[in-house]
Structure 1
């Protein structure tokens, strides 16, 4: 696992641009992307174990706004694993408790990830919190924005098809996904080569 993590950390730093004054953060309805705070509960379904990505946060300076994803492929439905679904359900119950405790002071935004008063988290606060958790956990240098390419690398290491990873990431081009991630796991490329060779009938020696 350490070898995989080193691969993720090294590749993510190359695949993700440094933070800019204008940042576009995809909003996914799952804890796998902590920047997913603005999406509403109706856009994710624990019953069907899916999450819909149909909004992104655009930050200019300190102000933020929302818009549609950058491309048609970015607007997508992603599957959620059982562990994530359990976490979301527990979080939903906790959020309802916060609402009851806040009473009239609760801000009804219907957002998935909020402060205890119902208001949205600012992306900078989420980034700072992630950095603290990463340092406390003794993780290698990794940024919040490295989680997306890191998740893609883990999916490939777990045996996911490149096409599946493309759809999870919302890449419009299969070539983009393959060019970016095949080199992160040489064994994945070797397996693909072996599988292709096995399709060609050969005479025995």
Structure 2
């Protein structure tokens, strides 16, 4: 794979984006819409609320100013919510705090110019993808850890109730899993649940 291939793929991805622009009607919005359409993106304008379905949006470009910073957007932070690029007019504590709460990876400064928009989109997409991969890996580790804790608890229950060693308890779990065509975690979970009912 050459060094240029990821960039070409990213540009192709950007052209196929479905972008919701949450921005009041002004020159900044006109400039933004014109450039996004020249890139080839499918653009939907929403103001003052995001009227689009989240599953129909790949990216949100949103005006962030003292007025919008005070608004509550219910879709923010929802599972599957698209990444956001703020369009920033002011640099004051309220706006900076709002940008940080949006978990933005880049911003588009106002007055909006065509230069920098493509970079902001590319960086945001790449960082969002990285973040989602990390979150997925963390969930996988947490799930594995939870399953291991269940197995350990089931072993301790078997050791106590059947007066067997740690090794024998694990072998018993393995045998029950094999006989019943189940994963060992499922057998362990059943033992833990049954013990909880008895207590």
Same fold per TM (> 0.5)?
no
In our comparison, the structure showing a higher alpha carbon Rg is: 2
Higher helix share: 2
TM-score, length-normalised on structure 2? 0.25
Q: Tell me which of the two structures has the higher relative contact order, counting C-alpha pairs closer than 8 angstroms and 6 or more residues apart.
A: 1
TM-score, length-normalised on structure 1? 0.25
